């Protein structure tokens, strides 16, 4: 059984995980010191968000040196030590790669903007102004405003899908592709086990720079880019050819490729980017990450979309870009959060846990004067922003993250759910999550088995996972009333907020049951 087939991957946001240097910002040595905690969860791998050299306009997703470690996080030697420690603990290490764009302080962009005829002149997306001086088309940036920025040196516009300080690479250019493949070789050669590809479907733009059509809406969107159907600024078919080159290279090292998909048809695009044997090993989208309610139909839609596809998905409920799932999906109800994370850990595909998911952390409150996220500041007070998901990990009731004031404040509600107290409590969310990860790890059906929906009363999500020699039956009550179901002809391995009778079982709201036919499933 491959570690990555149905494995559990734990996302670490280094800036907020653990601070070893006492400057209030997490670092690589801090991550290394806490890896035993991650290994004890039973996960298969970690994903490290960017730690590369960066001016930090977008907190590391604006890379100025793909091969360098930002001094804020440590040194390349610190990364090598982290990698060795992780491997000693039997943890695979996946690192972020941001190939859609760079920082405007990257040497490539400095050279590109210097003139229209230098060796890297075509390494970024440049275009002339319209006759009236306006931008080349109507594309809008994710973080607000026009996606084009005027450059007075070249007297042209350059494309940026995010901040103006994050110019888009021209990944159509074969020289750019080779440079990015060379970056991948550098990290694979150091021993990393794979890459998480940031906004992988943003790599290539429409060659004709056609306007995006308007998107009908009932209420005025919060962000300008939501006014459009993004037909031409992302998800171009040519991107797949470069993805295939990345797959060939990564396979030659025995590595793993997972992509992040941001698209108006997220499930369809996930399938497209993972179909067959020569594209991504897997991809996750914002389909579950954007949901605002935990209901059976959303999980059914996610699973059934892949039922007949030659593709393999990944799923996450939280990450560094969206409000944490206990708040977004569960109204900060811990019982409901337990039920929802149990569903996640029973789905078909790779599973991503974001640091603090295992503690049931709600989205943190960060007052305006403490905000750091440029998106949050730009759209305040609309409640859009990412800082609430990025506050430091609460290791102890006093914080335990740093000896200095943290870069973002710790929410008192997080301190009450700290890791130390939960490790000592067999009834904690942490203990609950660890038990489910252990069950998944030992179950061929949960890791790789087929998925089939089962009949159930309203509000109940019921399905089977089936592999040779093992059937797992799962039922979860996402409704507001207790419900009784016929029991399968094999014993329960996990049952909470419920009762078992001779041939039936009852689940209270937020209750769940997992039955296993095999004797060695957990």
Query: Is position 471 within any domain?
Result: yes
pLDDT-based confidence at residue 180 (cuts at 50, 70, 90): very high
Clarify whether residues 463 and 423 are in a common domain: no
pLDDT band (50, 70, 90) for residue 522: very low
Q: What is the pLDDT of residue 383?
A: 77
490-504 average pLDDT score: 95
Catalytic entry in 44, 78, 96, 198: 198
Q: Is the domain of 308 the same as that of 380? A: yes
pLDDT, residue 219, reads 85
pLDDT at position 296 over 80: yes
Name residues whose C-beta falls within 8 Å of residue 352's C-beta, 6 or more positions apart in sequence. 8, 9, 10, 11, 47, 284, 314, 315, 316, 319
Q: What is the rounded CA–CA span in Å between residue 84 and residue 61?
A: 25
Indicate whether 282 pLDDT > 50: yes
Q: Give residue 80's domain range.
A: 8-102+173-438
Torsion-angle region of residue 354: left (phi > 0), alpha (psi -120 to 50) or beta?
beta
Task: Give the mean model confidence (pLDDT) for residues 341-353.
Answer: 98
Is position 198 annotated as part of the catalytic site?
A: yes
161 lies in a domain?
no
The total number of structural domains that make up the chain: 2
In this structure, are 434 and 341 located in the same domain?
yes
pLDDT of 520 above 50: no
Same domain, 393 and 510: no
Residues 512 and 409 in one domain: no
Q: What is the DSSP pairing of strand 314-316 with strand 350-354?
A: parallel
Before 84, cis peptide (omega within 30)?
no
Residues 414, 506 within the same domain: no
Structure token pair of residue 88: 């000693």
Q: Is 369 in the same domain as 506?
A: no
Task: Say yes or no to pLDDT of 57 above 60.
Answer: yes
- CA-wise closest residue to 31 among 40, 19, 49, 41: 19
Rounded percentage of the chain residues whose pLDDT exceeds 70 = 99
The gap from C-alpha 13 to its chain's centroid, in whole angstroms, comes to 11
Q: Alpha helices, DSSP H only, in 89-139?
A: 107-112
What whole-number distance in Å separates Cα of residue 138 and Cα of residue 401?
44
Q: Where are the alpha helices (H) located in 48-115, listed in sequence order? A: 76-88, 107-112
* Catalytically annotated residue among 27, 70, 78, 262: 262
Q: Both 191 and 263 in a single domain? A: yes
Q: What pLDDT is stored for residue 1 in this prediction?
A: 52
Confidence of residue 365 (pLDDT cuts 50, 70, 90): very high
Is 262 designated active site? yes
Residue 251 lies in a domain: yes
Is there a single domain that holds both residue 472 and residue 412?
A: no
- 384 pLDDT more than 90: no
Average pLDDT over residues 365-387: 90
CB 431 within 8 A of CB 453: no
Instruction: List the CATH number of the domain containing 182.
Output: 3.20.20.80
**pLDDT tens-digit profile of 33-42?**
999 999 999 9
Look at residue 98 and tell me if it is in a domain: yes
Judgement on whether residues 92 and 218 belong to the same structural domain of the protein: yes
Task: Report in angstroms the alpha-carbon separations of 222 from 20, 219, 370, 379.
Answer: 39, 9, 22, 8
Q: What is the mean pLDDT of the chain?
A: 96
Indicate the helix (H) or strand (E) that contains 374. Answer: helix 374-379
Residues 47 and 74 in one domain: yes
Domain assignment present for residue 218? The answer is yes
144: in domain: no
Q: Is residue 521 part of a domain?
A: no
């Amino acid at each position: 059984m491959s570690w990555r087939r149905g494995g559990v991957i734990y996302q670490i946001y280094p800036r907020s995980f653990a601070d070893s240097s006492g400057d209030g910002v997490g670092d690589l040595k801090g991550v290394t010191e806490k890896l035993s905690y991650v290994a004890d969860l039973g996960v298969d791998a970690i994903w490290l968000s960017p730690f590369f050299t960066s001016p930090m306009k977008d907190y590391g997703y604006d890379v100025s040196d793909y091969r360098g470690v930002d001094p804020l996080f440590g040194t390349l030697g610190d990364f090598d030590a982290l990698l060795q420690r992780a491997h000693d603990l039997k943890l695979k290490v996946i690192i972020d790669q941001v190939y859609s764009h760079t920082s405007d302080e990257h040497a490539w962009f400095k050279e590109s903007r210097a003139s229209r005829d230098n060796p890297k002149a075509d390494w970024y997306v440049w275009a002339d102004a319209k006759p009236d001086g306006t931008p080349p088309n109507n594309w809008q940036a994710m973080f607000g405003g026009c996606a084009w920025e005027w450059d007075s040196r070249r007297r042209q516009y350059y494309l940026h899908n995010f901040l103006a300080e994050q110019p888009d690479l021209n990944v159509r250019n074969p020289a750019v592709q080779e440079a990015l493949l060379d970056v991948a070789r550098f990290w694979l050669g150091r021993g990393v086990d794979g890459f998480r590809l940031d906004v992988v479907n943003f790599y290539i733009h429409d060659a004709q720079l056609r306007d995006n059509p308007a998107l009908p809406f009932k209420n005025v969107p919060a962000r300008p880019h939501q006014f459009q159907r993004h037909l031409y600024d992302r998800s171009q078919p040519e991107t797949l050819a470069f993805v295939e080159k990345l797959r060939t290279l990564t396979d030659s090292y025995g590595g793993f490729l997972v992509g992040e998909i941001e698209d108006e048809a997220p499930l369809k695009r996930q399938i497209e980017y993972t179909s067959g044997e020569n594209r991504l090993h897997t991809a996750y989208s914002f389909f579950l990450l954007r949901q605002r309610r935990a209901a059976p139909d959303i999980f059914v839609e996610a699973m059934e979309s892949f039922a007949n596809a030659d593709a393999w998905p990944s799923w996450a409920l939280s990450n560094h870009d969206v409000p944490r799932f206990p708040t977004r999906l569960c109204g900060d109800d811990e019982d409901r959060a337990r039920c929802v994370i149990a569903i996640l850990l029973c789905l078909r595909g790779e599973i991503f846990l974001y640091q603090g998911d295992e503690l049931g952390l709600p989205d943190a409150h960060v007052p305006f004067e403490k905000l750091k996220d440029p998106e949050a500041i730009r759209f305040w007070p609309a409640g859009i922003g990412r800082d609430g998901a990025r506050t430091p990990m609460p290791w102890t009731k006093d914080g335990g993250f740093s000896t200095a004031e943290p870069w973002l404040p710790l929410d008192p509600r997080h301190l009450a759910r700290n890791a130390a107290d939960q490790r000592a409590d067999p009834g904690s969310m942490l203990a609950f999550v660890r038990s489910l990860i252990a069950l998944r790890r030992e179950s061929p059906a949960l890791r790789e088995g087929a998925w089939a929906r089962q009949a159930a009363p309203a509000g109940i999500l019921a399905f089977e996972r089936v592999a040779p020699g093992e059937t797992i039956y799962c039922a979860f009550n996402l409704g507001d009333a207790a419900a009784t179901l016929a029991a399968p002809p094999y014993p329960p391995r996990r049952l909470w907020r419920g009762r078992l009778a001779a041939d039936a079982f009852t689940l209270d709201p937020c209750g769940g049951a997992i039955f296993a036919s095999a004797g060695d499933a957990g």
